[in-house]
Amino acid sequence: MINTKICDWLMDNADASIRYRVACEFLKDEKTAKDIEVELSQNPAAILWLKNLKPKAPPQHWSMEHGSFDYCLENALLKIVQLGLHGALPQVTDALEYYRTKIKRIDSLDTVKTENTGISYRKPKFFFAILIANFLSLANIEDESALQYMLGSLDEMHNFVHKRIYDIYLSEEERRSLAKVPKIWRDSDHFIKPDMVREYGFSFPFVYDIVGMHRLYDLKNPEVDKKINEVISYISTDEFHRKISDGYGILVEEDGKYHSMGWDPKYPGWFDLPGYMENGNVPKLLFFALYISKYPVAVKTKWYVDLLNYIEKYKTETGTYLFPGKWLKESTGYAVQGHHMSFGENRRKKNWREIESTFYVQLLQQNL
């Protein structure tokens, strides 16, 4: 549901990133988009984040895929996509070559030491591969290795969610038998069952899957679509939000080490969206909403309807929107936690909030 009058207003008022995205995604105007490409490539924010995206030689960190630094893939890639850049642009393809090479050599992406039988793609030791594949998918990079990884990953997630497994934690008695639990986690009730991880790996969905999986709809394959929709249906339930801990919980490795999982795909404020909007991490919710809006199952939930209704209070008399500045957060940190919500507007402009807020609402409404 695109408002052409609002699109015209954005084209008249916004900087290159938003104008480019409006032309591409809303108006489907290839000629205008092509005209804006040169301006976009010279945009200071686009130049900065492309620089962040391309690892140095040698790379700045052992974990270039995952972390809070601006140069980590999960932040830099999400940011350039937010700015309108994509895999059809040669500068993006060049910046991602490091990760395209990695996805072809997944056996080198060994991180967590739990062995799995019957799992090929969602192995815990392939956590970085899950991230890389989803981010290459999001950027719309044409890469056969990444596509096959996404399809294999989807099959394994679907196999898990189809069984409607929500009881993923050790019982109190089982927790008492754990040895050498770090002090910080000794009072936790949410230790993930090692046997479940051994059987299914990381087949439970991550927020990173929500970010990249929707691109598989572009294949126009009814079986793939059905699997995607079942994954989203699994997380779009009261049971998921009651039984699954924020951040999933603590992973118990076979070598006796413990890790905090994080990165669950729970809807922030599932049971009380208005309350969360008043007291919770609103940038995190807004980030999540941008990507969950890509899924037909999600936009039919009460949560999504409540969100659209809530943000109407920020609608202006002229039909634009004006969010509080703190909602459009831009700071160092994890993008999936809402740290990079800017769409590239020059924040010295008096109407930057109105432009970014209005564009954001159009993104939420386009899939209705």
Residues 169, 191: contact at Cβ < 8 Å? Answer: yes
Q: What is the pLDDT of residues 26-47, one digit of tens each?
A: 999 999 999 999 999 999 999 9
Q: How far apart are CA 133 and CA 151, in angstroms?
A: 10
Burial class (CB in 10 A: 0-12, 13-18, 19+), 4: exposed
Two tokens, residue 44: 């200071």
Under 8 Å CB-to-CB from 9, ≥6 apart: which residues? 320, 358
193: left (phi over 0), alpha (psi -120 to 50) or beta: beta
Question: What's this model's pTM, rounded to 2 decimal places?
Answer: 0.95
169 strand-pairing partners? 192
Q: What is the pLDDT of residues 205-261, one digit of tens each?
A: 999 999 999 999 999 999 999 999 999 999 999 999 999 999 999 998 877 789 888
What was the pLDDT predicted at 2?
A: 85
Residues 244, 166: contact at Cβ < 8 Å? Answer: yes
What was the pLDDT predicted at 113?
A: 46
- Would you list the domain boundaries of the chain? 109-266, 269-351+358-368
Q: What is the pLDDT of residues 256-286, one digit of tens each?
A: 789 888 899 999 999 999 999 999 999 999 9
Say how many C-beta atoms besides its own lie within 10 A of residue 237's C-beta. Answer: 15
Distances in Å between the alpha carbon of 314 and those of 81, 204, 323, 358? 26, 36, 6, 10
- H helices of the chain, where? 4-13, 16-21, 30-41, 44-53, 73-82, 90-95, 97-103, 127-138, 144-161, 172-176, 194-200, 207-212, 222-235, 238-243, 273-279, 282-292, 296-299, 302-311, 352-365
Say how many C-beta atoms besides its own lie within 10 A of residue 223's C-beta. Answer: 9
Two tokens, residue 361: 């609402």
225-229 — which CB contacts under 8 Å span 24+ positions?
227/154, 227/155, 227/157, 227/158, 228/154, 228/295, 229/295, 229/296, 229/297
What was the pLDDT predicted at 109?
A: 52
Q: Which residue has the tokens 């459009």?
A: 328
Distances in Å between the alpha carbon of 220 and those of 180, 214, 278, 329, 366? 49, 11, 39, 35, 19
What was the pLDDT predicted at 115?
A: 58
What was the pLDDT predicted at 112?
A: 44
Burial class (CB in 10 A: 0-12, 13-18, 19+), 350: exposed
What was the pLDDT predicted at 108?
A: 56
Which residues of the chain carry a pLDDT beneath 50? 110-113
Residues 217, 228: contact at Cβ < 8 Å? Answer: yes
Q: How far apart are CA 354 and CA 347, in angstroms?
A: 11
Q: How far apart are CA 330 and CA 13, in angstroms?
A: 21
